[in-house]
Structure formats: C-alpha cells, structure tokens
Structure 1
Amino acid sequence: MVQEMRKTTPNLAYIDDAMNATYALRRQEIVEEEPPVAEMRVRWPALFTERQIIKEFTRLMSMDINKFYEGLDSHLHKLLQLFRLKRFEEVQEMTSLMESLDKDASNQRKRAAALQGLPWYVKENPSTLMKRCEPTDPGEDVIKGMMIGILLVVEDVKEPLPVSYNDVAIVIEEKIVMRHLGDVPNAFVNLMGLLYMLNLDYPKDTKYTFEVIQRLFMGIGLRCALPESTL
C-alpha cells in the first residue's frame, strides 16, 4: 500500500481492499502501541486521504461521517441566531464573523460561520484550534505548538469568511497531515475522522467545542447541554 500511494495515480480499488483487509491490524496497532501520528503517516499513508477517512470511520463507527453536514445544517439557523445575542456584542471576533456573513449568507458560509463561532459560544478560545496565515508566511512558525487544529492560508487574515482559501490544512502534533481540503466545514469533518481513527483526545482548550460537534452534529453519545444556554 505504501508503494501504491507513492504513485501519481494510485489504484484506488486496490487501496480500498487492502485497507479493509488490514483494519483489525491497524486498530490493534493504534490502540495498543499508540504510535506518533508522524509514524502512522509513514506506515498508513492512505489513512490520511479523504476517501479513506470516510471508509475507515464507517468501519469504526458504523455510520457515514458525512452525516456531520446533516446535523450541522439542522442547527444552523438556531446557532446563528444565538451568536447574534446581545451578550456576544462585546466579543469582537463574533461581531466580525456575523458582519462578514451578512455580506453573503450562502449555506456554505453559514456552515463556516457556525463552526468558527462555536468555540466563542461555549466560552472557549479557538486561537489554538484555527490559525490563519498568508501564503508568504513561514508555515513552520505558524503551526509551532499546534497539536490539533486547522490552518487556513488566505490572502487577508483579517477576513473571517474569505471568498476562497489558498489552502486549508489539518495540523496534528505540529505537522501538516492533510491539505487542500477546500473549506472550513470539510476540514472539520476530516479532523473529526482523524481524531476518532487515531484514538486522539480532544484538545483541552476546545474540549466543549468538539463535544458539541460529536454529540449535537454527529449524533454520537448523549446530547449535551451547552454552558448557560440550550440549542
């Protein structure tokens, strides 16, 4: 599989069959040995692709990870309403997010706004979860100290909801493990998949954010109560 993944155009059917056949071995390795993520990328490179994240998550959880979008969309309207409450007017990041959304309220931008505003809503600071940089910024410096998060490469770091991204990447253990993910919602879907598949704990600084995503959007575990409010 490692050799096949090095090809410009890997045989996806072969990779699918091989990943399915080695699932038990991979789970044993992850759970018992807890290898560094960098080592897992070398041994199981296919695992860090969108195609295999969907398949591996289904093997692990017996559900389609893309149900994330259905759960998110079902709560979009209420979430964005809550973000506009008076008590959040003093949170400049939330105000900027809502002002940017008002310029173009497409569904994809609503999704991005909901996910970016969620940490502020549950009283967490997303500065360690989502970082922005310009294309000319040295990436190594930006992701230094970033154990789990999403890196957004944009032309204007002050715009919370840019029209397009130069790159959207997932960072784990100070290394970019996936890139070219297109947008914020897709990055969150794949990040959740990796956290489950690699048996990683949620970051302490944004624990409630991930628990809301897990329980409210993905329907995994009991429905949680948010601090000081209810969805």
Structure 2
Amino acid sequence: MEKERIELLTAIKRRNNDKVIAEKMAHTFAYRRQEVVNEEPGIEDFKDRWPALFQQKEINAEFLRLMALPLEQTFFAQLDRLSSQLIKVIKAKGGATRAKIAGIMRIYDEVEDIGIRRECVLKGLITFLGEDPEDLIKEYSGSCGDDAQMDLKQLTLAIFVIRKKGEGLEESPEDIGIVIEGVEVLHDLTSVASACALLLGLIYALNLAYPKPLRFTFEVFQKIFMQLDQHKMSPKVQNLFGRLQTSQ
C-alpha cells in the first residue's frame, strides 16, 4: 500500500491521468483511512502524502466510498428541492435577523445565476440558524491579495471568496476555495454551494469535527441536505426540519 501511495505521487504529476489516479485512490482507501483515524495527521503533512485526495473528483469519490452517497449531486439536489420552503421559513424570521436576511434575499430575487442563488439561500440559512455566514465564507477584494493570504493562514476551516474590487454578491467571484488549518486545499471552485459540499466531504474524509460556531449549519448540511443520521437531530435543526416538512 505504501508503494501504491508513492506511485500516486508520480501519477498525479502526469496530465490526463485521472483513470490511473482514481484506481489507485480506490485501492488505497483502507490504508489511507487507517492513517486518518489512527494517526490524526496535520492537514499540511497529509496533503503532501495524499495530494490526489484534495481534488474535486477525488473528494466526491472518497465520500461515495465512505457513505455510499454522491456528495455534490445529493447536496445540490436537496438544496434546490428545499430552496422555496427554506426561503419561506427564513423570511418568516423576525427581529434583527429579518433585516440581515432581507439584503441577502433581495439579491436572490434580482439574479438568475444558479450559483449565486444557491449562495444566497445558504447565507440566509446560516443567518436563520443564529450563526454568522462570515464564520464560514470569508470574502476578500482582489486588490488585497497579500492581506488575504496572511488572513487565510490563521483560519482553521473556511471557504474563501475573492471578488474584484467594488463587486458584490451579484457578480461571479474571481476565485473560490477552501482552507483547513491555514492550508489552502482547493481553489478555482465554481460556486460557494460547491465549496460547502466539498468542505463537508473533506470533514468526513479527514475525520474532522464541525467548527463550534457553525455546528447547526453543518448539522443541516449533514442531516437535512445529505439525509444522514436524521434520527439524531438537535432541537433547533429538528424544528427547522419540521417546518420544512409542513411547508411543502
């Protein structure tokens, strides 16, 4: 298995080599999983040892091996299926939360881009749950690249979004990626929703805990979107789940 892992390091450097990489990643799954669970390696070291895992295709493949469930496909399908009910529930929230959500929902109503609309629903959901979207999604202006890089190195787990100076949520960003333990593990992603799904997949693949400030958000991702362990919901998520069922 160690020989296979070393061969993977060479295979990933070759172009148009996805089939070989996929076969070797599947073959070394149990070996890699044992390392993750028993040794709890740091992300930087683990990325050096298993760089192929930190690719969009392989995160999806690893999640499928772990949970027998397609990752991004399921996440997007459930998010889209529940969006109209989620928006109804989110908009019904009162107090200061309503004002925060209003700006997000205004953009949702104005744009047609599916990626941006999904991002609005996710940000509205996080706000509805009493958590802060900025704890998950870190936004930077393209003109402050060095400052962004310094900031990202301090983050434990986050999605970063680089936008052109002066552009808001209505415009597609220049770059979207994921940082874990200060290490940029993915970039050039197509949308924030894709980054959320892939981050969930990485949490499973790397056996990580959900960040406490976002525990309800990730519980919704897991139990409502991915429909995993639904019998053990927190009261807050159970309440949301019940409201979504009754609003269908």
Cα distance 1:84–1:158, how it changes in 2: closer, same or farther (>3 A)? farther
Q: Which residue of 2 aligns with 1:43?
A: 49
Structure 2 residue 227 is matched with structure 1 residue 219? yes
Asked whether the equivalents of residues 152 and 165 of structure 1 are also in contact (C-alpha less than 8 Å), the reply is yes
Deviations, residues 196-230 of structure 1 (Å, cap 9, x unaligned): 00000000000000001100000111163536653
What's the Cα RMSD here? 1.9
Shift of 1:107: 3.8
Runs of 4+ in 1 over 4 A off after TM superposition: 88-92
What runs of 5+ residues in structure 1 fail to find an aligned partner?
Answer: none
- Higher helix residue share: 2
Q: What amino acid is aligned across from residue 43 of structure 1 in structure 2?
A: R
TM-score where L is the length of structure 1: 0.91
Q: Which residue of 2 aligns with 1:5?
A: 12
Q: What amino acid is aligned across from residue 15 of structure 1 in structure 2?
A: I
TM-score where L is the length of structure 2: 0.85
Partner of residue 182 from structure 1, selected from 186, 190, 193 = 190
Q: Please identify, of 129-138 and 220-229, the stretch whose mean Cα deviation from structure 2 is larger.
A: 220-229
Structure 2 residue 94 is matched with structure 1 residue 87? yes
Cα distance 1:157–1:52, how it changes in 2: closer, same or farther (>3 A)? farther
What runs of 5+ residues in structure 2 fail to find an aligned partner?
Answer: 1-7
> Aligned equivalents of 1:187 and 1:211: distance in 2?
16
Shift of 1:168: 0.3
Alignment map for 1:1-231 (pairs within 5 Å): 1-7=8-14, 9-65=15-71, 66-85=73-92, 87=94, 90-137=97-144, 138=146, 139-156=148-165, 159=168, 161-222=169-230, 224=233, 225-226=235-236, 229=240, 230-231=243-244
Shift of 1:130: 0.9
Asked whether the equivalents of residues 195 and 201 of structure 1 are also in contact (C-alpha less than 8 Å), the reply is yes
> Aligned equivalents of 2:189 and 2:50: distance in 1?
19
Shift of 1:146: 1.5
- Count matched residues: 229
